[in-house]
Amino acid sequence: MNEAEACPDFYVVSSRKLITLIALTGGLYVVAWFYQHWRAYRRVTGRPVWPIVRAFFAILFAFSLFSKISGGVEARGVRVSWSPLVMTLLLLVAGVASACAGSFVSTTLYVALTPIWLALDILILLSIQSSVNAAAGDAPGLGNNRMTWVNGVWMTIGMFWMLVAVAAALVLMPDTLEGWFTPMPI
């Protein structure tokens, strides 16, 4: 059995861990998720991809990764119920909406909307990850279900950052509802 047959094509992680890490790192785990998938792809295929670059510029490489995952999953006999193009567009819309919202709404409303962006990221990646786990023969993702100390460090950083953002939003909170739609001066 060669390495490609011995290893899953892509990164396996449980739904619980994926959701927890995205939520408690304030979305930073999305970059790590992309990195892990590109790293697994490079390991199995031997193709000269740079996982760190593809992770930091995830939106530029999302369609490519999602297409590779879809093809790999279907090659293993698992039906894919999502479209690489639709998932890429949803990820792009969520990212652009999140980035642009800061220019059009107050800091307070922006912080209040953050869970929506995180929930959308979770739904997108969870759909894809479920297919990957099923294709790897580990549908529940038990092979990568436990939190590590590194996960704990990143969750601590994420929670601290979110606490700072919420505190700043409360300090800057407008007194009227009208002020929620007024961008904060820079």
The predicted model scores a pTM of: 0.85
Angle made by CA atoms 100, 154, 20, in degrees to the nearest 5: 80
Tell whether the model's pLDDT for residue 65 goes beyond 50: yes
User: How far, in Å, CA of 108 to CA of 143, rounded?
Assistant: 40
User: How far, in Å, CA of 79 to CA of 131, rounded?
Assistant: 8
- Cα distances (angstroms) measured from residue 50 to each of 30, 54, 67: 17, 6, 17
Tell whether the model's pLDDT for residue 26 goes beyond 70: yes
Q: Is residue 52 part of a domain?
A: yes
Q: How confident is the model at residue 129 (pLDDT cuts 50, 70, 90)?
A: very high
Q: Is residue 160 part of a domain?
A: yes
Q: Which carries the bigger pLDDT value, residue 2 or residue 77?
A: 77
Lowest mean pLDDT among 68-72, 107-111, 132-136: 107-111
> Mean pLDDT throughout 60-81?
94
Q: Is residue 186 part of a domain?
A: no
User: How far, in Å, CA of 63 to CA of 91, rounded?
Assistant: 10
Q: Is residue 118 part of a domain?
A: yes
User: How far, in Å, CA of 91 to CA of 81, rounded?
Assistant: 17
> Mean pLDDT throughout 140-149?
94
- pLDDT at residue 3 in the model: 40
Q: What domain range includes position 142?
A: 3-181
Domain count, the chain: 1
CA 35, chain centre distance (Å): 10
Report the chain's mean pLDDT, rounded to a whole number.
86
Tell whether the model's pLDDT for residue 5 goes beyond 50: no
